[in-house]
Each structure stands twice: as structure tokens, then as C-alpha cells.
Amino acid sequence: MGVLMGQALVNGILLGGIYAAYSAGFSLIFGVMGVVNLAHGELVMLGAFITYWIFFLFRFDPFLTIPVSFAVLFVLGYLLQRLIINRVIEEPPIMSYLATFGLHLIIANIALLWWPADFRTVTTSYSGINFSLGGIIIPYARLATFGIALMVVGLLYYIVYKTDMGRAMQATAQDKQMARLMGIKVERVYAMTFALGAGITGLSGSLISTYFVIFPFMGMEYTITAFCVVVLGGMGYIPGVLIGGLILGILQSFAAIFLTTGISMALTFIILFLVLVIRPAGVVGKGIIE
Amino acid sequence: MGRVGWKLWVLLGAVIIPLALVPQWGVSGYILRFLTLVFMWVALSGCWNLMSGYTGYVDFGPVVYFGIGCYTVALLMTRGGISFFAGVPIGAVVAGLIALSIGIPTLRLRGGYFAIATFAFAEGMKQIILEFDRVFGVDFFGGSHGITLPIGPTNLFFYYCMFVAALLVMGVTLWVENSKFGYALKAIHQAENTAEITGIDTAGVKMRAYGMSALLLGGIGGIYTYWITYITPQDVFSVHMTVHMVIMTLLGGMGTFLGPVVGATFLTVIEETLWARFIYTYLVIVGGIILVVVIFMPRGVVGTLKRRSLR
């Protein structure tokens, strides 16, 4: 029983790292632009498929494809912001929900046309290798994924809080008009925010492809989990994704081992609902409250 | 109803009276079922408009009350031996009561938080109904297999049921549009804090709008259940139903009486034609329509026309 508990905890922590990585972009985009990106999961899906195809066609190691999916999603994010999101950002928030939901439908269904709905996996030579620590099994690939995920969140934290671009993002998030008066090109900040958010989400998609099965309609589930992680940690508060990711990862892992996976989904929503109602600024109380 | 112009009454009469007579002209079963579907969407998006269109609080989980209505009626009819006519009002009341208990905590939230909380509740409810039987080892909701009802009356019966439902929702909207209650809702939309200072019981008004919308959604769900005779959690708690209500209202114009009617009719017709012709790409096209509306017509058809006539 002790080993099983320990295994559930380790699985949960490893899972939480992944959750944190792909939710960070969601949190960034919400924090700076106030946009709830319902096409977020599709960005994860595209990143995962980029890795899958490069691996499948050229036999490149999935971890080496990370820069490619970052670059592709970065450019895509920049374009989406310039062509679509920018036009609705001055409208009431519902317009951005709907615009991004429209994007979700378009991207997911085009993906379904190109890549039929089969479940695919990226299985490398080292996929099954693991080491054991006091009876608890830790796969090397998952540990590496966890490390990269932490690095991604750390890097994003550095960019947002320590660089000039990041300070411009924070200024824009706090007061758009004032930022504009201070000479910040708000449109450019928005485009960079969305591009950066999309880029790290795509990168996380690459990490996910080594972990879970991938298919064109996988996106919605990831959007929902990202919602939950970001609400738990505090909307717009970047380090919060680590807290939210770990809480959710550990809870789901325990629920999946001791109850059923279906219940772990229900648990996700119940937690999401309760946190919103009881503590909308997140567990540590540093999120943005409207 | 003083502010409603005679033009609107003529327009409504010209549409409603022929629709009431259509079944007498011997149209095909397909047309009858299609019109029933149009009425259902007019009613559903009208319910969403009542709450979200007027107050600006974006409810992203209205489908949950539709689903609760569906399951209540299905359970009452299959296990309780209660008739359809008694079941529908009970379904509506159950949905309304649940809305009261959920509305109290969630209506304090604003903007994106309200949207996410309602969404989470709807999805959570779906998962609970899906898993309930397996977890507790009982046979109640039927899990993912859903519930099958006995075959109901003819298409004609449900045509009139949905017709009445749509008229009821439209009637309530018309009343809201011209009542003090409706003005309070619109005031909340424009400036909630100011509305509160002027003496509007904002919490109470929002609650009533939310409960009213849930009550109607529950009733429509009840009719739908007996019409389709087969329900599963994935179908009746589907996020796509929510999205349809939102898009139809938006397409027509949020917070207007005719908005949901125009939007629902337009989108149902478009989808029916597209779905038959472009079976693989139709969701891409629907996504494209959403983007076009959001970018070029954010006020919807009715909203845009209204604005133009005011100039």
C-alpha cells in the first residue's frame, strides 16, 4: 500500500509538471490580454503532431523536435493574433471566447481531415526504460519531460518578470492606456504575448507526444485541464501554474489509481467549480480577479 | 406592451399563423421534423438570451439545465410511471431549483470567471451522471448507455409541443423586454455597480433571470427527451449545444427580442444544408461563420439593423 501511494504521488508530480508547462501559455495570454483562449488545446495538438510527423518520417528524436514546434507555433500564434484576435480584443470578452472557439472548430476539424482520427503514439527506443527507487518506478523519459517542463515555466517566468519585453507585457496588463502613453506599442506586445504563449504551448505538445496518445480531437480536454490548472494557481500568475499543475496532477493520479479515471475527470470539474466559487484568485491568492 | 410597435405584431402574426397551420397542409415528415428542430433552437437560444443576452453574464453551461430536464423526465416516465404532461413541468421545476442553489454562489463571479464556473458545473454534472452507476454499483442513470423511452406520439404532436415552447420563450422575452425587470437586467449589463447604487437588487434580479432561464430550459429538455426517445449524457450535456445557443443568439443579436429567433432559424437552416452537402468540412465552415460574425458583425443581424435605424 505504501509503495502504491508513493507511486501515485510520483506519477502525480510528473504529470503535474506537464500540466504546468502547457498551462503556462494559457495563463500568460489571459493575464496580459484578458483572452480566454478556447483553442489552447489545439495548439497542444499541433505541437504534438509536429513531433509525431518528424519522428515518423525522419526518425528524429522527439526531444530534438522541440525547437521546431516552438518556432512553428510561435509564428502561427503571431499570425492568429494579428489577423483575428486583434480585431476582437476591444470588444466585450465574449467575442474573444467565440472567436477562439471558432478557431478550435476550424483547426480541430482540418486536422481531422488531414490525419484521420486514429490514436497515434511516439514510441522511442528508450520509451519503456525506467529505474526503481525503493519500489517506485520512474521512467527516464518522463523524468526528462518533467525537467524540461520545469525549465519552460522558469524561462517564461524570467521573460515576463525580468526582461524589457516582459515589463512591457506587465504594464499592458495593468493599464493599457497608460502603457500606450508610455510609448509601449500595445499591439506589438499583444502579438508577442500570443506568439510566446502559443510557442511554449506547442513545445509542451511535443513533450506530451512522448507521454500520451495523440489524435486530432484531443484539444478540448487539454483546454479544460489548462483552465483548471490556471484557476487553481491563480489566473495570470505564471508561477501559479506549478502549484495548480501539481495539485491537479497529484489529485488525478490518486483518483485514477484508487477510484476510476472517469471520476478523476469529474473531480477536475468539481475542484474547478469550488475554487472559482470559494477562492477565485487561486490557492495562493495571487491571480487576477475581475 | 406599449412600446412594441404594430409592425412587430403584424410580422409575428404573418409568421406564426401559417406555422400553426403548416401541418394541416400535408407536408412531409422530414419538413415537420426539421421545423420542430428550428422551434427547439429558437426556444433554447431564447433562454440563453434571457439570462446572458440581457445581463451580459456569459453563461457557458446552460445545457446543464436542458440535460437535467431531459433526465428528470426520462427517469419519471421510465421508472416513476408518471405521464409526459406531468413530467415536463416537474423537469422544469427540478432544473429551476438546481439553478437556484448553483446561482447563489456563481452569480457573485464576474466576466470570465462566471463563464468558466458555469462551464465547469455543466461538464462536472455530465461526468457525474456518466459515472454514478459504476461508482455506486446501481442501475439508475444508465451511465454512457443512457435511457431509452417508449416510442411516443407522432411528429405532429412534438411539432406543436416545440411550437408552444418557442412561443412561450418568445412571450417571456417580450415581457422582459418591456418590464421593469428587463430594464434592471439591461442596467446590470451596462454598469452593475451603478445599478446597485440606484437601488436595484442586482443579486435578486440576476438570480430570477438565471432561474427563469433554467426553468424554461428544463421544460424544453423534457419535450426533447420524449421526442427523440433516447438520451445519453454525452448528447444532452454536450458543450456543443451550449455553443449553439450562444452563437445563434450572437448571430441574431444579444439582448434583443428577435435576435435569437433570427439567429436560430438562420443557423439551423444553414447547418441542415451544409451538413448534407459537406459532411466532412461542415464544422470547419461553421467555425468560419463564427469568425466572420464575431469580426464583422459583433452586434448580430438584429443589433446591426437596430443601430442603423437609430442613426
Q: Residue B148 belongs to what H/E stretch?
A: strand B147-148
Q: What's the number of domains chain A is made of? A: 1
Sequential pLDDT tens for chain A (290 residues): 678 888 889 989 999 999 999 999 999 998 888 888 889 999 999 999 999 999 888 888 888 888 999 999 999 999 999 988 888 888 777 788 888 988 998 999 999 888 877 788 887 777 777 788 777 888 888 888 899 989 999 999 999 989 998 999 988 888 888 888 888 888 889 999 999 999 999 999 998 888 888 888 888 888 888 988 998 888 888 889 999 999 999 988 888 887 777 777 788 888 888 888 888 777 777 777 65
Nearest residue of B to residue A263 by CA position?
B131
Contact (CB<8Å) A98/B290: yes
Which of A105, A113, A260 faces B287 most closely, judged by CB atoms? A105
Beta pairing partners, A131: A138
For residue A283, being part of any structural domain is answered with no
Q: Which CATH class is domain B6-310?
A: mainly alpha
- Minimum Cα–Cα distance from B110: chain A residue: A290
Q: What is the grid cell recorded at A60?
A: 528524429
A102–B288 CB contact, under 8 Å: yes
Grid coordinates belonging to A213: 496518445
Q: What is the interface pTM, i.e. ipTM, of the complex? A: 0.80
Alpha-carbon distance B143 to B145, whole Å?
5
Is residue B1 pLDDT above 50, yes or no?
no
Q: What backbone phi and psi angles, to 5 degrees, belong to A234?
A: 110, 120
Cell of B70: 431531459
Examine residue A81 and state whether it is found in any structural domain, yes or no.
yes
Quick check: is A245 in a domain? yes
Chain A contact for B153, CB < 8 A?
A: no
φ/ψ of A133, rounded to 5, equals -125, 100
- Cell reading at B177: 423586454
A185: number of CA atoms within 13 Å, CB side? 5
Domain ranges of chain B: 6-310
Q: Are B123 and A269 in contact (CB under 8 A)?
A: yes
> Nearest 5 degrees, angle CA A214-CA A220-CA A224?
120
Residue in A30, A102, A277 closest to B294 by CB: A102
Of the candidates B204, B253, B246, B214, the residue with the CA atom closest to the CA atom of residue B60: B246
User: Are A84 and B247 in contact (CB < 8 Å)?
Assistant: no
Question: Which pLDDT does position B2 carry in this prediction?
Answer: 47
List Cα–Cα distances, A35 to A45, A95, A100, in angstroms: 20, 9, 9
Q: Is the pTM of this model over 0.90?
A: no
Above 70 in pLDDT, residue B311? no
Q: Are B69 and B220 in contact (CB under 8 A)?
A: yes
* B43 contacts B166 by C-beta, under 8 angstroms: yes
Q: Chain A: nearest CA to B101, how far in angstroms?
A: 13
Chain A residues in contact with chain B using a Cβ-Cβ cutoff of 8 Å = 30, 34, 36, 84, 87-88, 91-95, 97-99, 101-106, 108-110, 113, 220, 224, 227-228, 231, 235, 259-260, 262-263, 265-266, 269-270, 272-273, 276-277, 280, 289-290
Task: Give per-residue pLDDT as tens, B101-147.
Answer: 999 888 988 777 888 889 889 988 998 898 888 888 888 888 888 89
How far is the first Cα of chain B from the last one, in angstroms, to the nearest whole number? 24
Would you state the cell numbers that stand for residue B79, as one nine-digit string? 421508472
Q: Domain containing A117 — which CATH number?
A: 1.10.3470
In a domain? residue A9: yes
Of B91, B44, B73, B54, residue with least CA distance to B186: B54
Neighbour-count burial of A112, counting CB atoms closer than 10 A to its CB (0-12 exposed, 13-18 middle, 19+ buried): middle
Please give the residue range of the domain that contains residue A69. Answer: 2-278
Residues of B in Cβ contact (< 8 Å) with A258? none
